[in-house]
């Protein structure tokens, strides 16, 4: 069985190999004619390839020739043809100079509203008209709270009453002093005279008498002692002779002895007093008397000076009180006037604007919150303005390079920023002669157009003024105008002749804009000039 299988496999392999051999032979037969054809093509293609290579070589040779020619040409100087310069033909036509200014509409007639109190400063709002409200003359604008000022007025009236009482008292005091002053001066003279007399009496009479009395007192005390001793001695002798002593006798003797003892003491006291008065009492009395007279003299002299001054001072106090009283009256008068300012009414018909219009701009009290209930407004300042909305003016400002075109009588058109499609006729009526802080010249224009609605004061606009206008002006581009290098006030152009060459020609210029320059002398209609003026050094034909 295995043998049969092996034979079968062998047979199959043999068949397959036979098939491959046959296929290979057929392919070889097919390829032989193809190879022959290919060989033929190669032989035919060789002459064609040679021809193509020859053709390719020819352009390369031509290119080399061109490059060689270019190199040779580069060595030679190049002569460029002169480029044709642009030319402007001078023609007579319309020409104008306009100036554009920024402006603001403002009312011709305004009525500023302010309070100018003399005394009062606390103005608290109860009610205020709204910004933009139309009001009639006499209509309420602001109402202030009067409570505090009413209290101040009552206090001032009470103060005036007290001042009247004080002035009455001073008047009575002055009247009394006028009468008492001569009497007081007489009393001063009298006291001085009495003091001098008393001092003279003291020195001449009382002091010597006091000294005598002191000596006499000492002498008497001494004598009293002597008398007492003698009396005691006599009693003792008398009672001793009796050789007996009774009770009565003892009493008399004891009394006599006591009197002697007292006299001795009194004598000692008298001696001490005498010595004291001699050394201290009398000198001190003299010194005290002298001091007293000196003090009296000084006091009297001072009284003579002070009494008239006191009277004068009282007069001055009375006058001062009168002046203070007058001031109180004036203050009351001013407070009552300030009280009248607690109600502010419209001075004219118009529209309420908060703040003040200064040079067309609203400044100051412009915030609505400043006019709310309870807010305090300052005095001596414009609070609001009643504006008559018609007629209106335009306030603008011209710069230095524009001012020569802005003159009285120049007309123009104003276009409100809010309504640019609306053109309003206006004419310049006033131009400042001196610049302001911003180095600009204030300008005012009158709106001549009757229909300016809905324009309101405070709105901004753009004003275009026609400062110069002519129908037959000779103009050239600004680039065609040259300036003399030695004199910048001399101008020239380059006129192109029929031969195409340009020549310098001096000209006089008039007005100019960014697009054109007016020539008033030196050119005629039909002349042709270079649009771009070359430098004077490059001119081929100088004048």
Using the Cα atoms of residue 343, residue 346, residue 351 and residue 357 in order, give the sign of their dihedral: negative
Residues 392 and 299 occupy one common structural domain:
no
Distance CA 300, CA 312 (A): 19
- Out of 471, 497, 520, a domain closes at 471
Nearest to 384 by CA among 75, 203, 141: 141
| φ, ψ dihedrals at 103, nearest 5° | -135, 175
List CB contacts of 399: < 8 A, sequence separation 6 or more: 439, 440, 441
CA atoms within 13 A on the CB side of 95: 21
Distance CA 404, CA 361 (A): 25
Residue 88 lies in a domain: no
- Residue 285: is it exposed, middle or buried by C-beta count within 10 angstroms (0-12/13-18/19+)? middle
CATH number, position 385: 2.40.30.170
Residue 32's pLDDT is 45
Q: Is 341 helix (H, G, I), strand (E, B) or coil?
A: coil
Residues 251 and 215 occupy one common structural domain:
yes
- Out of 306, 338, 370, a domain closes at 338
Distance CA 295, CA 302 (A): 10
Partners of residue 150 on adjacent β-strands: none
Q: Which two tokens stand for residue 342?
A: 């607690």
Partners of residue 107 on adjacent β-strands: 392
How many H-runs (helices) and E-runs (strands) does the chain carry? 5, 20
Query: Euclidean distance between the first and final Cα of the chain, in Å?
Result: 134
Q: Which two tokens stand for residue 542?
A: 């100088």
Distance CA 259, CA 368 (A): 117
Cis peptide before 454 (omega within 30 of 0): yes
- Out of 284, 306, 338, a domain closes at 338
Residue 85 lies in a domain: no
Distance CA 321, CA 163 (A): 7
Are the C-beta atoms of residues 519 and 512 closer than 8 Å to each other? no
Scan for tokens 């005498």, then name that residue. 274
Residues 201 and 307 occupy one common structural domain:
yes
Distance CA 471, CA 480 (A): 21
**pTM surpassing 0.75?**
no
Residues 284 and 168 occupy one common structural domain:
yes
Residue 543 lies in a domain: no
Distance CA 117, CA 149 (A): 12
Are the C-beta atoms of residues 406 and 99 closer than 8 Å to each other? yes
Residue 266's pLDDT is 82
Name the strand (E) or helix (H) holding 272: helix 247-276
Residue 231's pLDDT is 81
pLDDT digit string (tens) for the chain, length 543 residues: 444 444 445 444 444 444 443 334 444 444 444 444 444 444 444 445 545 555 555 555 556 666 666 666 555 544 444 467 899 999 999 999 999 999 999 999 999 999 999 999 989 999 999 999 999 999 999 999 999 999 999 999 999 999 999 999 999 999 998 888 888 888 888 888 888 888 888 888 888 888 888 888 888 888 888 888 888 788 777 777 665 556 677 777 777 778 888 878 888 888 888 888 888 888 888 888 888 888 888 888 888 888 889 889 999 999 999 999 999 999 999 999 999 999 999 999 999 999 999 888 889 888 999 999 999 999 899 999 999 998 999 999 999 989 999 999 999 999 999 999 999 999 999 999 999 988 999 999 999 988 888 899 999 999 999 999 999 999 999 999 999 988 989 999 999 998 889 999 999 999 999 899 999 999 999 999 999 998 754 443 333
Residues 453 and 511 occupy one common structural domain:
no
Which contacts (CB < 8 Å, 24+ apart) does range 21-28 have? none
Residue 247's pLDDT is 66
Residues 41 and 99 occupy one common structural domain:
no
CATH number, position 524: 2.40.420.20
Nearest to 350 by CA among 162, 132, 526: 132
Are the C-beta atoms of residues 494 and 507 closer than 8 Å to each other? no
Distance CA 100, CA 190 (A): 101
How far, rounded to the nearest angstrom, does the alpha carbon of residue 255 sit from its chain's CA centroid?
Answer: 112
Residue 365's pLDDT is 84
Residue 178 lies in a domain: yes
Domain around 266: 151-338
List CB contacts of 125: < 8 A, sequence separation 6 or more: 142, 143, 144, 145, 371, 372, 373, 374, 375, 376, 377
Residues 172 and 231 occupy one common structural domain:
yes
Residue 84 lies in a domain: no
Distance CA 119, CA 134 (A): 32
Residues 230 and 329 occupy one common structural domain:
yes
């Amino acid at each position: 069985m295995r043998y049969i299988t092996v034979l079968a496999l062998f047979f199959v392999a043999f068949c397959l190999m036979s098939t491959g051999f046959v296929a290979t032979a057929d392919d070889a037969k097919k390829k032989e004619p193809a190879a022959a054809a290919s060989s033929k093509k190669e032989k035919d293609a060789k002459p064609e390839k040679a021809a193509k290579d020859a053709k390719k070589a020819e352009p390369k040779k031509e290119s080399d020739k061109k490059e060689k020619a270019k190199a040779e040409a580069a060595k030679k100087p190049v002569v460029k043809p002169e480029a044709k310069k642009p030319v402007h033909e001078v023609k007579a036509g319309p020409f104008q100079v306009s100036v554009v200014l920024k402006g603001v509409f403002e009312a011709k007639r305004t009525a500023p509203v302010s309070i100018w109190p003399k005394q009062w400063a606390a103005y608290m709002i109860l009610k205020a008209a709204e910004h933009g409200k139309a009001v009639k003359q006499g209509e309420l604008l602001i109402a202030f709270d009067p409570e505090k000022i009413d209290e101040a007025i009552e206090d001032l009236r009470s103060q005036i009453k007290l001042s009247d009482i004080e002035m009455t008292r001073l008047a009575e005091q002055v009247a009394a002093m006028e009468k008492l002053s001569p009497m007081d001066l007489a009393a001063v003279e009298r006291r001085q005279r009495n003091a001098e007399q008393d001092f003279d009496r003291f020195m001449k009479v009382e002091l010597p008498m006091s000294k005598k009395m002191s000596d006499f007192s000492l002498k008497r005390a001494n004598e009293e002692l002597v008398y007492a001793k003698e009396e005691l001695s006599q009693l003792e002798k008398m009672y001793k002779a009796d050789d007996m002593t009774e009770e009565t006798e003892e009493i008399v003797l004891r009394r006599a002895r006591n009197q002697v003892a007292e006299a001795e003491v009194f004598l000692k006291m008298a001696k001490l007093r005498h010595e004291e008065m001699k050394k201290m009492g009398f000198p001190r009395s003299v010194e005290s008397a002298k001091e007293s007279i000196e003090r009296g003299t000084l006091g009297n002299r001072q009284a003579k000076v002070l009494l008239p001054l006191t009277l004068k001072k009282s007069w001055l106090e009375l006058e001062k009180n009168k002046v203070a009283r007058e001031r109180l009256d004036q203050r009351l008068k001013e407070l009552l006037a300030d009280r009248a300012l607690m109600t502010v009414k419209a001075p004219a018909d118009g529209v309420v604007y908060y703040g003040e219009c200064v040079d067309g701009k609203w400044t100051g009290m412009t915030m609505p919150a400043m006019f709310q209930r309870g807010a305090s407004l300052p005095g001596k300042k414009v609070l609001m303005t009643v504006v008559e909305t018609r007629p209106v003016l335009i306030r603008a400002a011209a710069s230095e390079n524009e001012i020569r075109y802005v003159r009285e009588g120049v007309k123009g058109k104003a276009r409100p920023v809010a309504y640019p499609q609306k053109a309003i006729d206006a004419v310049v009526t006033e131009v400042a002669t001196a610049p302001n802080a911003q180095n600009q010249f204030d300008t005012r224009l009158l709106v001549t157009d009757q229909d300016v609605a809905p324009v309101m004061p405070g709105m901004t606009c753009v004003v275009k003024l026609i400062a110069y206008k002519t129908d037959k002006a000779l103009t050239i581009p600004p680039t065609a105008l040259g300036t003399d290098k030695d004199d910048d006030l001399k101008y020239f152009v380059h006129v192109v002749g029929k031969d195409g060459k340009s020549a310098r020609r001096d000209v006089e210029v008039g007005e100019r804009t960014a697009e054109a320059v007016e020539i008033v002398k030196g050119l005629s209609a039909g002349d042709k000039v270079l649009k771009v003026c070359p430098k004077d050094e490059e001119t081929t034909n100088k004048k």
